[in-house]
């Protein structure tokens, strides 16, 4: 384990502990704010296709935002976790077209479009636990979205990369490894934080 990996593990533990202490009423209120802020974000509102995800547990709530984008006619792609931790994709067709899957996830029930479908996205809503002042994102460590970002690079795509976070998850520094890539913007319940043009990820 590298020092950076060890630092990430400790930071993940602290952030997940803080999320576990969040009150239900705060989660409801923040989800409404995420939907409002996110729906007004030009990178999402102006996109024809957005790759996103369904929040679960105490993650920053995405469901109202998914519905708002879907209602506008934005094509929303949602991930389907594969056995090797890679992601397939399927179109979001509404909350009644989501099914329980492994690891407590909710996944779309429509036709699978293949891992390469994400390359059609104009914007990608990435899950995360923290982002720092450089735009570096800390994920949960499964590597699924590292593969997504590498796939976008191989296809020559440069979509807007956006993360939803609670305000105290925008931190001073995230431990960085060679495969990590910066994002373009963070949406919190209170504000949108933009970073200088994120460097294009490299495989």
Q: Which residues are annotated as a binding site?
A: 8-12, 54, 59, 137-145
User: Which pTM was predicted?
Assistant: 0.90
Confidence of residue 203 (pLDDT cuts 50, 70, 90): very low
3-state secondary structure of 137: strand
3-state secondary structure of 171: strand
CATH class of this structure's domain 3-194:
alpha beta
Q: Which residues are annotated as a binding site for substrate?
A: 54, 59
79 pairs with which residues across the strands? 89
Instruction: State residue 5's pLDDT score.
Output: 67
Confidence of residue 4 (pLDDT cuts 50, 70, 90): low
Confidence of residue 6 (pLDDT cuts 50, 70, 90): confident
Taking CA atoms, 203 is separated from 146, 150, 180, in Å, by 9, 5, 10
Confidence of residue 65 (pLDDT cuts 50, 70, 90): very high
Confidence of residue 154 (pLDDT cuts 50, 70, 90): confident
Q: Which residues are annotated as a binding site for ATP?
A: 8-12, 137-145
């Amino acid at each position: 384990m590298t020092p950076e990996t060890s630092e990430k593990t400790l930071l993940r533990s602290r952030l997940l502990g803080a999320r576990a202490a969040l009150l239900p009423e705060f989660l409801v209120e923040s989800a409404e704010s995420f939907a409002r802020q996110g729906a007004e974000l030009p990178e999402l509102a102006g996109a024809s296709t957005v790759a996103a995800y369904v929040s679960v547990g105490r993650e920053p709530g995405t469901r109202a935002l998914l519905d708002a984008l879907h209602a506008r006619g934005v094509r929303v792609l949602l991930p389907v976790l594969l056995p090797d931790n890679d992601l397939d994709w399927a179109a979001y067709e509404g909350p009644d077209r989501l099914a329980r899957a492994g690891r407590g996830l909710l996944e779309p029930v429509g036709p699978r479009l293949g891992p390469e479908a994400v390359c059609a996205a104009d914007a990608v809503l990435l899950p995360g636990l923290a982002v720092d002042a450089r735009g570096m994102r800390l994920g949960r460590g499964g590597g699924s979205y590292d593969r997504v970002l590498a796939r976008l690079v191989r296809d020559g795509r440069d979509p807007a990369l956006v993360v939803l976070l609670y305000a105290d998850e925008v931190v001073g520094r995230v431990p960085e490894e060679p495969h990590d890539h910066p994002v373009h913007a963070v949406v919190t319940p209170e504000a949108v934080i933009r970073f200088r043009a994120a460097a294009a990820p490299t495989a």
